[in-house]
Structure 1
Amino acid sequence: MLRTAVSRGLRSGCRFWIPASGRSCRAPLRPASGFRSSLARPNVQSRRRSLGSWSGTSLALLATIGIFQWGEKQLASEDEIILLIKHAKLSAAKGELKDAERILHQALHMAQQAQNNQAISYIYCQMANLAFLHGDLLSAELLFKATMSQLLGSGMQQDDNALIEISLKLCNIYATTDRHYLAVEGYNWCIETLEEKVQHEEAVPEEALSAEERENTRLLLAMAQDSCARYLLSRGQLELATTLYQKALTIAQDVHGEAHPQAVVLLNDLATVLDMKGCYDQAYKYISRAFSLARETGHTDEHRILSNMARILVHAGNYTEARKVYEEALKQAKLKGDELAMQHIQEGLEELDASTHSSHGQGQARHQ
C-alpha cells in the first residue's frame, strides 16, 4: 500500500525533489554555491536540534492541512477520525508512542475506507513524525514520501512550505543513514527553492500575501540553512557552514529579534564553528553575546552555552577563566538534571586539566 502511495501523483520530469529507489525524479541539480557532494552523517558537538525547534515555521504542514476544515454537516466517520487523531496526539505527548501508533493506524484505516485524501495525508505525516521520534527511520522515510505524494496528488504546489519542510526531514534521514548524495541534493534543492520563493514573495503586493506568510517562508529558509550548516560542519566544511549559519542568524534576528531562543542558539552555533576554525576572538564575541541574551531571557540552554564558552576559552589559552566558567556551567547542569551536559562538561574539564598540565610542563622545561 505504501509503495503505491509513494509513486502516486509523481509526473515524469517534475521538478519536485522526492527520491524513489535512490534516485531523484528530476535531473540532478547544478551545484549551488556553498555545497559539495562529499558530505557525511552529522555528528557535531554543538547543540543538536530537530526541525521542530523552529516553532515559528515548523508547523507549516499543520497550518496548510489543518485538522480538517469540515462544514457544519459532518459525517460520523469524519468525527471519529478527528477524535482518534486527537487521542493519538495526546498519547504521543505523554510519551506513549506505541499507543499513539496503534490509534493512528485505526484512523488511517477509517480515512482510507472513506476515501478522505485530506485525512490520509495528515495521518501519514503524523505517523511519519512518530516513527522518526521512535528512531524507525526507514518507516519514517516511507511515510514522509507517502505524505508528499498524497499532497502532490491533491494539487498542492511543489514549492509549498509544507512539502519543503517534509523534504528537510527526509534530508536529515538521508544524512543520518549515510546516503550522502541524496542528503546534499535535498538540502541544495530546499535552499534554492526557498531562496527563489523568498525573492518572488518580496515582489508580491502586501494585499495579496500576508506578512506572516512571508515570514514563514523566510524562517523555513533559515531552518534549511541551519540544518545544512550542521551537516557541513560535521564534515569539516567550516567556511561553508559559517556562511550558512550567518545567513540563518540574520533571518532569525530580523524576524524574531536578537533575544529569540532560536537566534540565541544560532549565535552559540556560529561561535562553535568559529572556534573550530581557530578564530577564537570572534568565537568569544558571539558566545559572550549568546550567554548575555540567554541569561537575560532565562534560556533553557544557558548551561550549554556556558560550556561552549569555557571550551573556547580553553582553546584560546585562558585556562583560569575557563575553569570558572566550566564550574558555573556544571552547577547549572546539575540543578537542571541535564546528565548529558554534565558528561560533556566533565570531559571539558579533563581537557582543561590536560592543557594546564601541558602548559605547566613546557614552562618548567624553558626554565631548566
Structure 2
Amino acid sequence: MIIKNFCKFTQYMTRLRARPLSRDSCHTVPFSRSADLSKWDTGTGTVFGIRSSLILCRANRKQQYEHSKSPPPLGTGAALAFSAAFTFSLFGDSDKDKEETPEEKLIHLIKRSILCIQRDQFDKAEQMLHLALRMAQDIQSKDGITYVYDIMANLAMEREQFKKAEKIFADVMKRLFADGHTEDSPKILHISSKIAHMSQLQGELEKSYQGFTWTLQRLSKLLENMPQEKDKDIKELYGLTKNWFGQLLMKQGKYKEAKNLFKEAYDILIEVYGSVNEASLTILNNISVAYVNLENYAEAKETLLLAMSLAKELKDVTQEGILQANLGLVYLREGLMKQAEAACKLAWKLGKKHQNSDAIEQAEYCLNEIKSSMNG
C-alpha cells in the first residue's frame, strides 16, 4: 500500500497539469502584425510553438487568473500541454479602427480558447477550437488547421481523454509528414513522447516502452549532431521523456533502471534550468520512490529532504506538504513511528493551512497507515 500511494503521488506530480516550470524559461516568438499564418511554424522544436506536457514554458494557471481578471500579459505561459506564450506574442497593440483580416480573427479566437483553457473552462475552449478549425478551413490555411488540431489534441490530453488525444495527434503527425517533416523532426518527437506517455497511463506498457525507446534513440542522435547553443529545447524534451520512461519502468518493477533514468533526467534539467526549478521537484520525488522500492530508505529520505528544501526555496507550499507526508511514509517503512507521525501531522497542518486537498489526502493516508501498523 505504501508503494502504491507513493506511485499515486508520482502520477499526481507528473500528470498533464504538472507543476509549472519557471516563467523565465518561456520563449516568446516574434510575429509580424500581418498575421501571416505561413509563419506559424516557428522552428522552436514544437508544433507551431506548442509545447508538450510538462515541457518548457509554464506559469501557475490559478495564480495567474487570481492576480488579474484580465487576460494574462504578453509572454505569459500556461500550465498546459502547450505554450500560450506563442499565441500571446502574435499580438501587438492592434489598431481598433482597422477591420480585422480573416487570419487575425482566427488568431484572436485561438487566443481566447487558450485563455479559457487557462481558466479550466474546457468545454467553452473546445467549442471555440471547433469554430477556429472551421475558420481555418474556410480561409484554406494549412498551417492554421494543423495548429488548431494540435491544440485540440493537447486539450484532450489535459482532460485525460487519451484515445481522443492520440487520434488527433496521429492526424497532426500525418499533416507534418505531408509538409516534409521526417521521423527525426523535433515536432514529431514531441508528439511521439506524448503518445508513449499516454499509453503508459492507459496501461499499454509494451506500446509505451517501444514508443519511449524509439523517441529517446532519435533525441540522442539529434543532440549529438546539434550545436550546443541550439540544443536547449531538445535537451528539455530529452530529460522529461527520460522521466516519463522512468515512470513506465517503475510500473514494470524495474526500479534500479528507473532510478538511473530519473537521475539522468534530473541532471539534464539542472543543466537546462539551473539548480532551482520546479521541474526538479517532480523528478526528485520520483527518485525517492525508486529508492523506497529498492529498500534504500536513507537515500529516499535524503532525496525527499532535498526536494523539500527546494520547495521552500521556491515557496511552493503545496508540494512541501505532500513531500512532508511522503517523508512520513518512509519513516513508517523504517518502523520509526514517532517520526512518521510527526511528519504526517505537519503535512496535514500544511495542507489545511494552504487548503491543498492533495496534501491533506496524502497526510491522512499516512496517518491511517500508522494507526493500522500500531493496531496490528
TM bin (shorter chain) = 0.7 to 0.9
Give the match's secondary structure for 2:13.
coil
| Structure 1 residues 51 and 220: alpha-carbon distance in aligned structure 2, compared to 1, 3 A threshold | farther
Q: Within 2, Cα distance between the matches of 1:295 and 1:280? A: 22
Matches within 5 A, 1:51-70: 53=18, 55=21, 56=25, 60-61=45-46, 64=49, 67=87
Report the Cα offset of residue 120 of structure 1: 0.9
Q: Which runs of 5+ in 2 are unaligned?
A: 1-5, 28-43, 51-85, 92-98
SS of the residue 1:61 aligns to: coil
Q: What is the CA-CA distance between 1:75 and the residue it aligns to?
A: 8.4
Amino acid at match of 2:15: S
Give the aligned partner of residue 107 of structure 1.
132
- Tell whether 2:119 aligns with 1:94: yes
> Contact 2:16 / 2:157 at 8 angstroms: preserved in 1?
no
Give distance in 1, aligned partners of 2:9 and 2:337: 20
Aligned position for 1:242: 259
> Which structure 1 residue ranges, 5 or more long, are not aligned?
1-41, 359-368
Of residues 44-53 and 232-241 in structure 1, the stretch that sits farther from structure 2 once superposed is 44-53
Correspondence for 1:316 among 328, 334, 338 = 334
Task: Report 1:25-174 matches (<5 A).
Answer: 44-46=8-10, 47-50=12-15, 53=18, 55=21, 56=25, 60-61=45-46, 64=49, 67=87, 76-174=101-199
Instruction: Identify the match of residue 285 of structure 1 among 302, 327, 331.
Output: 302
Give yes or no for contact 1:314–1:352 (8 Å, CA) kept in 2: yes
Provide TM-score, normalisation by structure 1: 0.76
Quote the Cα distance in structure 2 between the aligned partners of 1:111 and 1:307. Answer: 49
**So what's the TM-score if we normalise by structure 2?**
0.74
Contact 2:48/2:147 (8 A) holds in 1? no
What's the CA shift for 1:341?
2.6
What's the offset of the Cα at 1:157? 3.8
Letter in 2 for 1:243: N
Q: Following the alignment from structure 1 to structure 2, what is the Cα–Cα distance between the partners of residues 335 and 328?
A: 10
How far does residue 326 in structure 1 lie from its aligned partner after superposition? 0.9
Cα pair 1:51 1:169 within 8 Å, conserved: no
Contact 1:57–1:216 (CA<8 Å) still a contact in 2? no
Structure 1 position 219, deviation (Å): 1.3
Structure 2: distance between partners of 1:57 and 1:147: 24
Identical columns (%): 23
Aligned position for 1:10: none
Q: Which amino acid aligns with 1:311?
A: L
> Do the aligned residues in 2 keep the contact of 1:313 with 1:321 (CA within 8 Å)?
yes
Residues 136-172 of structure 1: CA deviation (Å, up to 9, x unaligned): 2222111111111112222234323222121122112
Letter of the aligned partner of 1:261 in structure 2? E
Counterpart-to-counterpart distance in 2, 1:256 and 1:152: 31
> Which residue does 1:252 correspond to in 2?
269
Question: Which protein has greater RCO, CA pairs closer than 8 Å, 6+ apart?
Answer: 1
Equivalenced residues, count: 308
SS at match of 1:301: helix
Shift of 1:64: 4.2
Cα deviation, 1:73-104, whole Å, max 9, x if unaligned, reads x9822112112111211222222212211111
**Counterparts in 2 of 1:216 and 1:127: CA distance versus 1, 3 Å:** same
Shift of 1:60: 4.6
RMSD: 2.8
Q: Which has the larger radius of gyration?
A: 1
Structure 1 match to 2:213: 188
CA distance in 1, matches of 2:322, 2:186: 31
Query: Are the counterparts in 1 of residues 102 and 139 from structure 2 also a CA contact under 8 Å?
Result: yes
Alignment partner, residue 78 of structure 2 = none
